[in-house]
Chain A
Amino acid sequence: MNINGVHIEDTFAEAFGMRGTRLLITGENLKWAYHGATALTGFATSVIACGAEAGIERKLDPSETPDGRPGASVLMFATSSKELASQVERRVGQTILTCPTASCFGGLTEGDPIALGKNLRYFGDGWQASKVVNGRRFWRVPVMDGEFVCEETTRMVRAVGGGNFLILTRNSQDALAAAEAAIEAMRKVPNVIMPFPGGVVRSGSKVGSRYKTLPASTNDAFCPTLRGVVKSDLPDEAGCCLEIVIDGLTADDITIAMRVGMQAVCERGRENGVIALSAGNYGGKLGQFHFKLREIMAEGGAQ
């Protein structure tokens, strides 16, 4: 398959089941809502060492938030329900409780409830108070700028993490431009986040390593500087490879995001240095979800 001079490899992205939740962060203005949401989703690129993968899904208008203030919608994913609950609590406790004027609400209507403000309330040292509004319980914790308002629970659903595709280009500049175009388009897709810096990751990994202590190591097959010495998967013309990783609430959301992103990359085409699109997988043995690039693009109308 070839779209606008870009070769689509006959491969698939391998993704895993995760647990996910959506949080709505509001503040006195968008600036402070984003300070909170940015801190909340900081250092949350990969579950390998961050505990959670998180990102800002989109901006929220005052009409969309429970308290009528501007805000941001955040998605957070972890490998188990226990881990997600723990990450939600410690992250919200350290970043939203602390953020001036910020409030935190659950953003899903279905799923199992996990604690949000349920335990954070004890920071109030006995002065905390709850209020039930339309059947939802909110905690009010006195803090130095007034009150921290936090919903008691948020809903947790089965989600999918690790959808991805690789952008193979002539050089680094072309790769960045293509990846940025993809991310800009994918940010408009609901229910997904791209957790890495700017949505893009350069250190794709393979399973295993020559060192006993490392379970994963650099994906040498796609490292351009090793082309001559390892079994390379890079086409001859390719001098750079970047990966976009997607976590989503459902597999369908990831499919849509992958298609939108890959279409944006293909639109830039060969004339902008894009050589091929590929994907990261582990031979299909580890993840339950396989996203086949050619099928996704064919369903999007590509020949």
Chain B
Amino acid sequence: MSALILTLKQLPLGRLDLSPLMPALVSGDISELAALPLQIATQKIPLGELFSVSGSDASQIVLQGDLSRVDGIGAAMQSGSLNVEGNVGAYLGTGLLGGEIHVQGDVGHFAGVAMRKGTIRIKGNAGDYLGGILPGAMQGMAGGQIIVLGDVGERCGDRMRRGAILIGGKVGDYAGSRMLAGTIAAFGGAGKHAGYGMRRGTLMIRGEIHLDATFADCGEHILPITNLLFRSWVKLGSPFGDAAGKSSPVHRFMGDRGADGKGEILLFK
């Protein structure tokens, strides 16, 4: 069987919600895919009118075309792989339950929100609320891994509960805000108010950072746990594996003392 390839025929005028795709592939027949109604602005249009479909292996899906206005790609995906060749819209991999999503370009806001398992790899940049929380929910990302080679917007990992977000570039303001647990590592610095309101969890930052006064300076230490983390990232390549095996000290700050205060920001080299 060859990979299921969906090619967007033309850039839609409004936002296109592709989130019904994955549930439809799990429960339905692939031959009925063309009839799947998709919401675009105020209208419902069958998938077949928007995408040309080829191949039949739903465990490896390829999305082509200009998807920058397509939201909810890979939402609720459970297994397999999903490759996207360009830029995508918002809510990529929402509530991801397994499998791998690869995006060659940039992704919009809210990528990986409420995800529980699986992996999202983004070659370009990501928008705000990466690995964050859905409106009304108590917890954000609850497992899995998000790897971004470029920069990330604001509120990355908002109310994150578990899992890891690795960022090759810079993470924006309020990184790890209201974080409950998990790990966020940025290899190109962080914006303002990192760890704002974080209760537990770890923010690891290499490069420039502006620390709020609600983080207590615990000094420089060699922490064996960083060996475990860095070594587990070696297979992800540069820059994530660069610090492995060095056993160099990290500067530890605990906070946010305005919240539970058991989170930490580790500055590493």
Contacts of A69 in B (CB 8 A): 224, 227, 247
Near A by CB (< 8 A), chain B positions 219-249 give 221-225, 227-229, 231-232, 244-245, 247
Closest to A140 in B: B225
A131 and B231 contact, Cβ closer than 8 Å, known pairs A68-B244, A68-B245: no
- Verify if A133 is at the interface (C-beta below 8 Å from B): yes
B228–A131 CB distance below 8 A? yes
Which residues, 103 to 130 on A, are CB-close (under 8 Å) to B?
Answer: 103, 127, 129
Residue in chain A with minimal CB distance to B162: A132
> Smallest distance from the beta carbon of A170 to chain B beta carbons, Å?
51
In the assembled complex, which residues on chain B have CB atoms less than 8 Å from the CB atom of A133?
228-229, 232
Q: Measured between C-beta atoms, what is the minimum distance from A105 to chain B in Å?
A: 9
Chain A residues positioned under 8 Å from B262 (CB to CB):
127, 129
Q: Are B183 and A149 in contact (CB under 8 A)?
A: no
Give the chain B neighbours of A140 by CB distance below 8 A: 223, 225
B225 → chain A closest CB, angstroms: 5
Distance (whole angstroms) from the CB of A34 to the closest CB of chain B: 17
Q: Which residues of A contact B244 (CB under 8 A)?
A: 68
Question: Which residues of B have CB within 8 Å of A147?
Answer: 221, 223-225
Known interface pairs A133-B232, A134-B232; A146-B223 also in contact (CB < 8 Å): yes
The main secondary structure of chain B at its interface with chain A is: mixed
> Please, which residues of chain B bring their CB within 8 A of the CB of A68?
227, 231, 244-245, 247
Name the distance in Å between A5's Cβ and chain B's nearest Cβ. 52
Considering only CB atoms, which chain A residue lies closest to B263 in the complex?
Answer: A129
B177 close to A (CB within 8 Å): no
A171 to B42, CA, bound (A): 98
Looking at the assembled complex, report how far the CB atom of A17 sits from the nearest CB atom of chain B, in whole angstroms. Answer: 34
Chain A residues within 8 Å of chain B by Cβ, number: 19
B200 at the interface (CB under 8 A from A): yes
Within 66-120 of A, Cβ neighbours of B (below 8 Å) are at: 66-69, 101, 103
Q: What chain B residues lie within 8 Å of A146 (beta carbons)?
A: 221-224
Q: Mark B205-227, 1 if CB is under 8 A from A, else 0.
A: 00000000000000001111101
Chain A's closest residue to B200 (CB) is A129
- Return chain A residues, CB-CB under 8 Å to B231: 66-68
Q: Does B202 contact A (CB under 8 A)?
A: yes
Give bound CA distance, A101 to B223, whole Å.
10
Complex CA distance for A199 and B229, rounded to whole angstroms: 37
Q: How far is the CA of A80 from the CA of B262 in the complex (A)?
A: 38
Contact of B228 among A62, A67, A101 (CB under 8 A): A67
Residue A138 lies at the interface, judged by CB distance under 8 Å to chain B? yes
Please encode chain B, from 179 to 218, with 1 for each CB lying within 8 Å of some chain A CB and 0 for all others. Answer: 0000100000000000000001010000000000000000
Interface pair A131/B225, CB less than 8 Å apart: yes
Report chain B residues within 8 Å CB of A67.
224, 227-228, 231
Query: Pick the contact of A149 from B200, B224, B232 — CB < 8 Å?
Result: B224
CB neighbours (8 Å) of A127 from chain B are 262
A131's nearest neighbour on chain B, judged by CB, is: B225
Q: Which of A62, A103, A129, A132 contacts B224 (CB 8 A)?
A: A103
Please, what's the 1-or-0 string for A172-212, where 1 marks a CB less than 8 Å from any CB in chain B?
00000000000000000000000000000000000000000
| Distance (whole angstroms) from the CB of B143 to the closest CB of chain A | 9
User: Please, how many angstroms separate the alpha-carbon atoms of A103 and B183 in the complex?
Assistant: 21
Contact mask A43-62 → B, CB, 8 Å, 1/0?
Answer: 00000000000000000001
**Identity of the chain B residue whose Cβ is nearest the Cβ of A102 in the assembled complex:** B224
Cα of A62 to Cα of B223 in the assembled complex, Å: 16
Interface pair A138/B225, CB less than 8 Å apart? yes
On whether the beta carbons of A131 and B245 are closer than 8 Å, the reply is: no
Which A-chain residue is minimally distant from B227 (CB atoms)? Answer: A67
Contacts of A138 in B (CB 8 A): 225, 228
B179 to chain A, nearest CB (A): 13
Known: A67-B228, A68-B244, A138-B228. A131 touches B183 (CB 8 A): yes
* CB-based closest 8 A-B pairs: A67-B227, A149-B224, A133-B232, A133-B228, A68-B227, A134-B232, A67-B228, A103-B224
17 pairs of residues in contact across A and B, judged by CB atoms under 8 Å: A66-B228, A67-B224, A68-B231, A68-B244, A68-B245, A69-B224, A69-B247, A101-B224, A131-B202, A131-B225, A131-B229, A134-B232, A138-B225, A140-B223, A146-B223, A147-B221, A147-B224
Known pairs A68-B244, A138-B225, A140-B225; list 19 more (Cβ under 8 Å): A66-B231, A67-B224, A67-B228, A68-B245, A68-B247, A69-B224, A69-B227, A69-B247, A129-B262, A131-B202, A133-B229, A138-B228, A140-B223, A146-B221, A146-B222, A146-B224, A147-B221, A147-B223, A149-B224
